[in-house]
Amino acid sequence: MATRHLRIIPLIDICSAEFAYQYEQGLCQSMYGERQETGPLPDSYLVNNLLWDTANSYFDGRHDHLLPRIGFYIGMLHGSILSPQTEELRPDATSLATFQNQEAARGYRVGREYYFCEASPKETRITDESLIERLRELARESLEFCDEESTWYYSIGCLLGELSGQLFPASLAERQQWETERQKWLEDCS
């Protein structure tokens, strides 16, 4: 478990002690620091931090020692939807982040659908190592994107959607929407 003093199960499986430490620091900062009781962080929080890390070449292979800091970002997101009093999901929390960006919101829906409809049980738990590799690949490929910021928002939205599956069960409305979209896709393909 990533936390020594808290009873919170991390959103990802953590192997690295430094990543675990950063995750716990993010949780504590979000739950008990200045952010306390302010609700979910916006989608831009993770995107802006990762864009900054990318601009500063953190994903270039020479700065791997800095990448566990991503644990802090994920811990901050997780902590923002937890109650400091109970360390449980806040009753008013309905998503892992707030979505101001349309691409992030679209990615979140896609990530949730993947989690609930396509992912194998083994694929539903992301590890710190696979998360860092996924972000490293996104940073490398982002140099070729026509609309880099929109792609980052979409990709991070997908990631947050996948991570949210552990906290927020699929609603009936989501399941109906997924089935409707699948039926439409099947009709278009035939």
Q: Where are the domains of the chain?
A: 17-189
Kindly tell me if the per-residue pLDDT of 190 is higher than 80: no
Kindly tell me if the per-residue pLDDT of 3 is higher than 60: no
Q: Which residue has the tokens 């890390």?
A: 53
Cα gap 26→40, rounded to integer Å: 13
**Torsion angles phi and psi, residue 92, rounded to 5:** -90, 0
Summarised one tens digit per residue, pLDDT across range 109-141 is 999 999 999 999 888 999 999 999 999 999 888
Overall average pLDDT of the 85-106 stretch = 94
Give the largest Cα separation in the chain, rounded.
56
Kindly tell me if the per-residue pLDDT of 12 is higher than 50: yes
Confidence bin at 176 (pLDDT 50/70/90): very high
Looking at residue 112, what is its pLDDT? 96
113 burial class (0-12, 13-18, 19+ CB within 10 angstroms)? buried
Give the residue among 47, 171, 184, 172 at the shortest CA–CA distance from 105.
47
Alpha helices in 34-171 (DSSP H): 43-55, 70-79, 102-113, 128-142, 148-164
Kindly tell me if the per-residue pLDDT of 6 is higher than 70: no
Report pTM: 0.89
Confidence bin at 185 (pLDDT 50/70/90): confident
Confidence bin at 61 (pLDDT 50/70/90): confident
11's tokens: 């959103």
Cα gap 3→109, rounded to integer Å: 29
58's tokens: 């953190």
Cα–Cα distances (Å) from 150 to 46, 140, 141, in that order, read 13, 15, 13
Looking at residue 128, what is its pLDDT? 96
Cα torsion angle, 45, 46, 49, 54, sign? negative
DSSP 115: I
Per DSSP, what are the bridge partners of residue 82? Answer: 89
Summarised one tens digit per residue, pLDDT across range 132-170 is 999 999 988 877 766 778 889 999 999 999 999 999 999
Q: Which residue has the tokens 């360390």?
A: 87
Confidence bin at 4 (pLDDT 50/70/90): very low
Mean pLDDT across the chain = 90
Cα gap 107→104, rounded to integer Å: 5
